[in-house]
């Protein structure tokens, strides 16, 4: 899936010295909040994530990412909040050397964590609840990519990048050393992937290894390669983690998700659930061989008899609904839980008594936490507005992280006994106390096929009802994604609201959280159904909200949103004063030959680029360049192998050759996303300057 989010702004070309045009008469402007929330503020915020409740339910352990903006570098720390005494959370001292991925031991006496404090490679360490001193647990020759400690505390399972045909870690070490020593730089490939996401294939695969822990809890002896000879990756690439594998409660079996690479890795989505004995005495067994689509995220029930996992049903489609499946270890039978629940499950977990499965899912612009009764399949929403990003089940309730359009992620406790959520921790209160937020409002209208389509409008910060404002019309990516009630560190509507823009976002057909049929509607229809939704949504919003200045508007988007901006440039450019395309598809046919995850382009276009009856040419922006007239900023990352750099260069070349006002913002060290703090600030400056130039906006704080 093309995963980056998108923006689009609408604004009128006026050289006015004010943000908007004041009405002759109207209500008095509200008091102004003093601080303008900028891209630098956003990039500098601490970030809270990964809550983990102690086995007794008293404490929650979580990670905090802190940015050193001048150094352009982030550090990770671990914090603990006491859910019983409700004392202020405290930072563990062991964080001084960097600490992340904190995990509790089964008895709650030990905290394990990842750190690169010893020798520069990422290894596993441990401490106690006080967190004053650290003991190194693993001394692996390569980075530990993810880890889990067996429930009995006698083994640790770690992910390592190795050559799959190597018999041991020493073989991989020697082979890597030989590659470094040679002065020849040529690399020969005989199959895809040649490159994936932002890295070139070096021949290694991520494998799981089991180390025995000695009496002191330190990894000892030689590890067992649980995937010996396996041509596949766990953790999965590019962004897999410890949710890709689980250890049974009897500490005898590891269940992991992986795809056999073979020759068809780039065009198949056939990930399976595999089981392997922790002692490595037998090869992995495929539990889900009958399903040729995506199976992932296995979680064992408290009694060890059942495994819940998520599964898609259509091979080759990465945005199919993730159903929740339950595998019975005794009968070896599988059943789907709540098959009529028309939402796609994200993270899943068992209740302590095994009677409920908790799951997160997008739901009509929100990201909610749900409880599903294992026996009756009754589905109950546990959270309301906002976006639950992570959760963990404790003895006294569920601790979850949630954000929204007006707040970065914060921690909440949902008590086991009925009661409202209790805020446990926040890391941004002080930094954001004087910020004026743009107020969001959800709306709906009749879109393609006369079906209901939802969207959000965000008022500018320090909104004055007596004024009209330029508009940022945001077009999300995916395309199976959503611009909902959530916080983003890349495309954050509040940055635009604080720059004097109103924001409009439409979850067009293809968006997630509105049922699978709604999501399916975009495949092979990239240029018609979603465009109709965007056009009707824009017309509805500008009619309903009088503060939107429809004559001062720019459209922005990235990835699929960037594709749509390129498509709009030749098919619906009339409303816009300017356009911004970030890592957007310019030539769909060339994209089908140059991108890495071929299953995506082949599903979305109905086949390979050389087959008849596909949509590569039907909705190809490159064929409408003759109609391009609006000023356009093109942004591209060199390390973007999802939408390669030639797509951005091609669009910029077309604009320059036609004499259309245009700029090209190029990042040699960014991938599909702009992740580095100072690059992010530069990105926002260039984009906002571009909008201001063509809309006449006098940006606050500029």
* Residues 6+ away with beta carbon under 8 Å from 23: 466, 467, 468
Please choose, from the candidates 208, 210, 203, the residue with its C-alpha nearest in 3D space to the C-alpha of residue 165: 203
Q: Which of 672, 680, 684, 692 is catalytic?
A: 672
Compute how many other C-beta atoms are within 10 angstroms of the C-beta atom of residue 55: 15
Q: 311 and 483 in contact (C-beta within 8 Å)?
A: no
* Alpha helices per DSSP H over 366-464: 429-432
Please choose, from the candidates 418, 683, 434, the residue with its C-alpha nearest in 3D space to the C-alpha of residue 558: 683
Q: Which of 77, 482, 559, 662 is catalytic?
A: 559
Is residue 387 annotated as part of the catalytic site, yes or no?
Answer: no
* Alpha helices per DSSP H over 545-610: 560-571, 588-594, 598-605
Q: Residue 693 belongs to what H/E stretch?
A: helix 677-695
Compute how many other C-beta atoms are within 10 angstroms of the C-beta atom of residue 674: 25
* Block residue for tokens 């009339």: 574
Compute how many other C-beta atoms are within 10 angstroms of the C-beta atom of residue 658: 12
SS3 category, 496:
helix
Give the burial class of 635: count Cβ atoms within 10 A of its Cβ; 0-12 exposed, 13-18 middle, 19 or more buried. buried
As a whole number of angstroms, the distance between CA 204 and CA 144 comes to: 14
Tokens of residue 627, six digits: 């109609």
Compute how many other C-beta atoms are within 10 angstroms of the C-beta atom of residue 92: 22
Residue 9 DSSP one-character state: B
* Residues 6+ away with beta carbon under 8 Å from 281: none
Measure the CA angle with vertex 470, ends 468 and 473; round to 5°. Answer: 125
Q: 652 and 659 in contact (C-beta within 8 Å)?
A: no
* Alpha helices per DSSP H over 545-642: 560-571, 588-594, 598-605
Is residue 559 annotated as part of the catalytic site, yes or no?
Answer: yes
Tokens of residue 26, six digits: 């109207």
Q: What are phi and psi of 181, to 5 degrees?
A: -75, -30
Q: Which of 272, 363, 640, 692 is catalytic?
A: 640
Is residue 509 annotated as part of the catalytic site, yes or no?
Answer: no
Report strand pairing: 662-667 vs 632-637: parallel
* Residues with active-site annotation: 559, 640, 672
């Amino acid at each position: 899936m093309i995963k980056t989010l998108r923006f689009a702004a609408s604004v009128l070309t006026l050289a006015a010295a004010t943000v908007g045009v004041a009405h002759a008469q109207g209500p008095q402007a509200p008091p102004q909040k003093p601080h303008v929330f900028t891209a630098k503020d956003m990039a500098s915020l601490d970030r809270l994530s990964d809550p983990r409740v102690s086995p007794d339910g008293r404490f929650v352990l979580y990670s905090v990412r802190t940015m050193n903006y001048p150094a352009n570098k982030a550090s990770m720390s671990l914090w603990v909040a006491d859910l019983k005494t409700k004392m202020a959370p405290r930072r563990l001292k062991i964080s001084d050397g960097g600490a992340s991925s904190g995990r509790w031991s089964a008895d709650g006496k030990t905290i394990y964590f990842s750190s690169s404090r010893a020798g520069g490679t990422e290894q596993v360490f441990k401490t106690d609840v006080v967190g004053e001193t650290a003991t190194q647990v693993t001394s692996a020759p390569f980075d530990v990519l993810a880890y889990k400690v067996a429930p009995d505390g006698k083994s640790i399972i770690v992910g390592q990048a190795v050559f799959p045909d190597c018999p041991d870690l020493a073989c991989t070490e020697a082979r890597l050393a030989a590659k470094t020593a040679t002065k020849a730089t040529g690399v020969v490939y005989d199959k895809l992937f040649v490159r994936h996401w932002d890295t070139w294939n070096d021949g290694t695969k991520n494998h799981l290894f089991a180390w025995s822990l000695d009496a002191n809890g330190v990894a000892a002896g030689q590890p067992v390669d649980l995937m010996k000879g396996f041509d596949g990756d766990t953790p999965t690439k590019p962004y897999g983690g410890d949710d890709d594998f689980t250890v049974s409660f009897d500490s005898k079996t590891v269940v992991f998700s992986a795809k056999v690479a073979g020759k068809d890795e780039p065009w198949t989505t056939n990930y399976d659930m595999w089981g392997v004995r922790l002692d490595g005495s037998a090869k992995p067994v495929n539990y889900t061989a009958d399903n040729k689509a995506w199976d992932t995220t296995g979680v064992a029930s408290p009694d060890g008899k059942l495994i819940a996992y998520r599964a898609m049903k259509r091979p080759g489609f990465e945005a199919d609904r993730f159903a929740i499946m339950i595998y019975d270890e005794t009968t070896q039978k599988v059943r789907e839980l709540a098959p009529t629940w028309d939402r796609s499950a994200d993270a899943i977990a068992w209740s302590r008594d095994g009677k409920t499965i908790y799951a997160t899912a997008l739901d009509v612009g929100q990201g909610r936490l749900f409880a599903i009764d294992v026996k009756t399949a009754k589905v109950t929403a546990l959270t309301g507005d906002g976006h639950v990003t992570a959760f963990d089940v404790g003895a006294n309730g569920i601790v979850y992280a949630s954000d929204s359009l007006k707040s970065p992620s914060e921690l909440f406790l949902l008590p086991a006994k009925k009661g409202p959520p209790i805020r446990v921790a926040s890391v941004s209160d002080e930094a954001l106390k004087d910020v004026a937020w743009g107020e969001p409002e959800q709306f709906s209208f009749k879109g393609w096929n006369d079906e209901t389509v939802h969207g959000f409008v965000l008022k500018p910060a320090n909104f004055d009802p007596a004024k009209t404002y330029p508009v940022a019309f945001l077009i999300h990516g995916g395309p199976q994604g959503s611009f909902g009630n959530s916080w983003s560190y890349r495309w954050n509507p509040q940055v635009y609201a604080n720059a004097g823009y109103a924001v409009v976002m439409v979850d067009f057909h293809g968006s997630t959280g509105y049922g699978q049929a709604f999501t399916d509607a975009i495949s092979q229809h990239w240029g018609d159904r979603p465009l109709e939704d965007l056009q009707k949504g824009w017309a509805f919003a500008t009619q309903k909200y009088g503060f939107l200045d429809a004559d001062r508007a720019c459209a922005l988007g990235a990835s699929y949103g960037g594709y749509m901006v390129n498509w709009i440039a030749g098919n619906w450019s009339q409303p816009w004063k300017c356009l911004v395309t970030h890592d957007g598809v310019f030539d769909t046919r060339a994209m089908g030959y140059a991108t890495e995850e071929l299953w995506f382009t082949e599903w979305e276009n109905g086949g390979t680029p050389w087959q008849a009856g596909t949509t590569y040419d039907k909705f190809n922006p490159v064929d409408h360049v003759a109609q391009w007239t609006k000023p356009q900023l093109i942004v591209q990352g060199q390390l973007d192998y999802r939408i390669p750099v030639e797509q951005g260069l091609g669009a910029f070349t077309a604009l320059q050759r036609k004499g259309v006002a245009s700029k090209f913002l190029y990042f040699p060290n960014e991938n599909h996303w702009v992740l580095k703090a100072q690059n992010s600030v530069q990105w926002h400056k260039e984009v906002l300057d571009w909008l201001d130039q063509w809309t006449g906006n006098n940006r606050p704080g500029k």
